[in-house]
Amino acid sequence: MRISIIGCGYLGAVHAACMARLGHDVVGIDVDAAKVAQLSDGQAPFYEPDLDDLLTELENTGRLRFTTDMAAARGSEVHFICVGTPQKRGENGADLRYVDAAVEALAAYVSPGDVVAGKSTVPVGTAARLAEVITAAEPHATLVWNPEFLREGHAVADTLGPDRFVYGVPDGSEEHPAVAVLDRVYETPLATGTPRLVLDYATAELVKAAANSFLATKISFINAMAEVCEATGADVSRLADALGLDDRIGRKFLNAGIGFGGGCLPKDIRAFMARAGELGADQALSFLREVDAINMRRRIRVVELTRELCGGTLMGQRIAVLGAAFKPESDDVRDSPALSAAAQLQLQGAIVTVTDPQALANAAKRFPELPLEPDLEATLHKADAVLLLTEWKQYRDMDPHTVKALVSAPRILDGRNVLDPAKWRAAGWTYKGLGRP
């Protein structure tokens, strides 16, 4: 099938490559000429495991190209909207200007029978509004909402083999002709038995908002337990292990630490609260305010614990921060807990050095005043305290004896609770976790 992808960022570039991998003829369209040039050269414009290999594999197939010209969408049967929906500046709500602009621009090139499939995360009610724009331009085209659930760091595998497909169609009916069109797009993963749910627009949009809210709530729940553990001397990691053995609860997404960040969970729960307010249902989501507050408190806690670790003051203390990305296996620093803690430590007088295997270029753009160091050993050199804030494998695998020889004082704050406290203490370290004795 001929497919266009509008917006080639973390979601769209992966979706474009994966659709070509499934055998479709794909054009990716983005307003960012630099990104289009890189993708056209077969290079991923960001770090995502397996994406570079996939782009290389597809380079000579002729099934994947990129352009800044929206007219290239003409002739595609399906058009995926993958542009950003960031948080509005100074407000909780989502900024829909990119989605609106993309749909407006695309509408001129839509033909009878085409399907425009929204993948961006949008407030409930957006699809119904955008459907009017599409049908005004082409009455025989259909807008569907097909939310995306991929995780960064696993984006290729998640796109090729998702847990489920959600199709939001105008009448919510399996018989809607757009359902068969999307089924052809996803024929290969559907053939493996991937569940596919056909829903109305509002329910489909809400699945995405509810899923991210649930994930955020699960993380803040265990981080709230970490606060109680800190007050009682209990161990939140062992608590999570025990809780997770109950099938109804499950161990996944129960890792306490510095909290959630990234380009999705924080802004999505805020946009959901804002939308509920507009709909007069704000009380229903007031718990998300608490979820957000618990999450932000974790970053402050890291600063407090570092001060304690350094004997009561941060002034002039050399702090090695391991991790800048919001999670491992990504170069994404949007709302990164590691970087916000590092910036706060610097503001309070510490001499901070941040390292990360992939995210330093993005970190430099967001926090130009933070000293960044690509080399792990150089970062650790003469440190008064080490903070593990993003759990990259190379940091989890560090040998406490080797690291001890590099630092000035053997003090470590394990912001993701991934190290073995007994092993580090046995090597002579003062170890602190979050919610762990």
Ligand X SMILES: NC(=O)c1ccc[n+]([C@@H]2O[C@H](COP(=O)([O-])OP(=O)(O)OC[C@H]3O[C@@H](n4cnc5c(N)ncnc54)[C@H](O)[C@@H]3O)[C@@H](O)[C@H]2O)c1
Q: Which of 3, 4, 5, 11 binds ligand X (CB under 6 A)?
A: 11
Shortest Cβ 215–ligand UPG spacing (Å): 5
Known binder of ligand: residue 327?
yes
Query: Are 168 and 205 spatial neighbours (Cβ–Cβ below 8 Å)?
Result: yes
Crossing angle (nearest 10°) for helices 126-137 and 97-107: 20
Q: Which of 129, 149, 371, 406 binds ligand UPG (CB under 6 A)?
A: 149
Sorted by sequence, the CB contacts under 8 Å of residue 180 that are 6+ apart come out as none
Query: Are 324 and 335 spatial neighbours (Cβ–Cβ below 8 Å)?
Result: no
Shortest Cβ 177–ligand X spacing (Å): 26
Known binder of ligand: residue 417?
no
Shortest Cβ 72–ligand X spacing (Å): 11
Known binder of ligand: residue 212?
no
Binding partner of residue 30 among ligand X, ligand UPG, none, CB cut-off 5 to 8 Å per kind: ligand X
Q: Which of 64, 131, 143, 150 binds ligand X (CB under 6 A)?
A: 150
Q: Binding-site residue total for ligand X (CB under 6 A)? A: 27
Known binder of ligand: residue 7?
no
- Tell me whether residue 395 or residue 429 sits nearer to ligand UPG (CB atom): 395
Q: Which of 40, 133, 196, 253 binds ligand UPG (CB under 6 A)?
A: 253
The yes or no reply on residue 126 touching ligand UPG (CB under 6 A) is no
Binding partner of residue 259 among ligand X, ligand UPG, none, CB cut-off 5 to 8 Å per kind: ligand UPG
Known binder of ligand: residue 334?
yes
Distance of CA 175 to the CA centre of its chain: 34
Enumerate residues 275-334 that contact ligand X by CB under 6 A: none
Q: Which of 66, 167, 260, 429 binds ligand UPG (CB under 6 A)?
A: 260
Known binder of ligand: residue 150?
yes
Of 93-101, 249-257, 282-290, 311-319, which part binds ligand UPG (CB under 6 A)? 249-257
Q: Which of 92, 120, 295, 353 binds ligand X (CB under 6 A)?
A: 120
The yes or no reply on residue 327 touching ligand UPG (CB under 6 A) is yes
Enumerate residues 80-109 that contact ligand X by CB under 6 A: 82-85, 98, 101-102, 105
What is the rounded distance in angstroms from the CA atom of residue 404 to the CA atom of residue 338?
Answer: 22
Q: Which of 22, 27, 29, 224 binds ligand X (CB under 6 A)?
A: 29
- Residue the block writes with tokens 């003090």: 411
The yes or no reply on residue 410 touching ligand UPG (CB under 6 A) is no
Cα-based distances in Å from 41 to 35, 69, 358, 375: 10, 17, 20, 28
- Tell me whether residue 115 or residue 254 sits nearer to ligand UPG (CB atom): 254
Shortest Cβ 359–ligand X spacing (Å): 14
264 is catalytic: yes
Binding partner of residue 212 among ligand UPG, ligand X, none, CB cut-off 5 to 8 Å per kind: ligand UPG
- Tell me the three-class secondary structure of the chain, residue by residue: CEEEEECCCCCHHHHHHHHHHCCCEEEEECCCHHHHHHHHCCCCCCCCCCHHHHHHHHCCCCCEEEECCHHHHCCCCEEEECCCCCECCCCCCECCHHHHHHHHHHHCCCCCCCEEEECCCCCCCHHHHHHHHHHHHCCCCEEEECCCCCCCCCHHHHHHCCCCEEEEECCCCCCCHHHHHHHHHCHHHHHCCCCEEEEEHHHHHHHHHHHHHHHHHHHHHHHHHHHHHHHHCCCHHHHHHHHHCCCCCCCCCCCCCCCCCCCCHHHHHHHHHHHHHHCCCHHHHHHHHHHHHHHHHHHHHHHHHHHHHCCCCCCCCEEEEECCCCCCCCCCCCCCHHHHHHHHHHHCCCEEEEECCCCHHHHHHHCCCCCECCCHHHHHCCCCEEEECCCCHHHHCCCHHHHHCCCCCCEEEECCCCCCHHHHHHCCCEEEECCCC
- Residue the block writes with tokens 């706060």: 344
The yes or no reply on residue 415 touching ligand X (CB under 6 A) is no
Shortest Cβ 33–ligand UPG spacing (Å): 26
Q: Which of 31, 72, 243, 406 binds ligand X (CB under 6 A)?
A: 31
Binding partner of residue 215 among ligand UPG, ligand X, none, CB cut-off 5 to 8 Å per kind: ligand UPG
- Tell me whether residue 120 or residue 346 sits nearer to ligand X (CB atom): 120
* Residue 390: exposure state from Cβ atoms within 10 A (0-12, 13-18, ≥19): buried
Of 148-156, 199-207, 407-415, 427-435, which part binds ligand UPG (CB under 6 A)? 148-156
Q: Residues in the site for ligand X, rule: CB under 6 A?
A: 6-12, 29-32, 35, 82-85, 98, 101-102, 105, 120-121, 148, 150, 152, 263-264
| Binding residue ranges for NAD(+) | 30, 35, 85, 121, 152, 267, 334
Return the active site residues.
264
Annotated binding-site ranges = 30, 35, 85, 121, 149-152, 208, 253-257, 261, 267, 327, 334
